[in-house]
Amino acid sequence: MKISTKGRYGLTIMIALAKNYGDKPIPLKSIASEYDLSEHYLEQLIAPLRNEGLVKSVRGAKGGYLLTREPKLITAADIIKTLEGPIRPVEEMDDEEPSKRELWKRIRDAVKDVLETTTLQDLVDYDDNNYQEEHMFYI
């Protein structure tokens, strides 16, 4: 299974919104600028996230996007499934030999488990902890 830029950039959007959870809406333009991404591409990604009920938009001069629920209640699987579709390492498993089918199933289940047990809050906390560790010697 290969996660495309849709999944990777979708996670970037959602982590940025999670870091700002409980504060004012964030415009996509700000996220695009901070992460050096195409605003136009992020606009294409935000629509399915909004349709799935993961984010909501706020209109107006101080508008932008907000998470619809706490970062600890949104998993990486929610985001990846919305943007990439079902999680599976190969297209068709039914016509495979039983031993290979079992391997593909185990790979799928392992990836699915990691995505379903990793929340946006976990990713925010990981970013925060890594930033502190990387800059610890400069304090």
Residue 5, token pair as written in the block: 């830029």
Q: What are the residues facing 119 on neighbouring strands?
A: 75
Question: CA–CA separation, 131 vs 43, rounded Å?
Answer: 28
More confident residue, 103 or 83: 83
The residue with tokens 């700000």 is 30
Asked if 80 contacts 115 with a C-beta cutoff of 8 angstroms, the reply is yes
The CATH class of the 5-138 domain is: mainly alpha
Reported as a single tens digit per residue, the pLDDT across 115-136 is 999 999 999 998 766 655 554 4
Give the global pTM. 0.85
Query: Which amino acid is it at 6?
Result: K
Q: What is the pLDDT of residue 131?
A: 54
Q: Could you tell me the two tokens for 125?
A: 């906390």
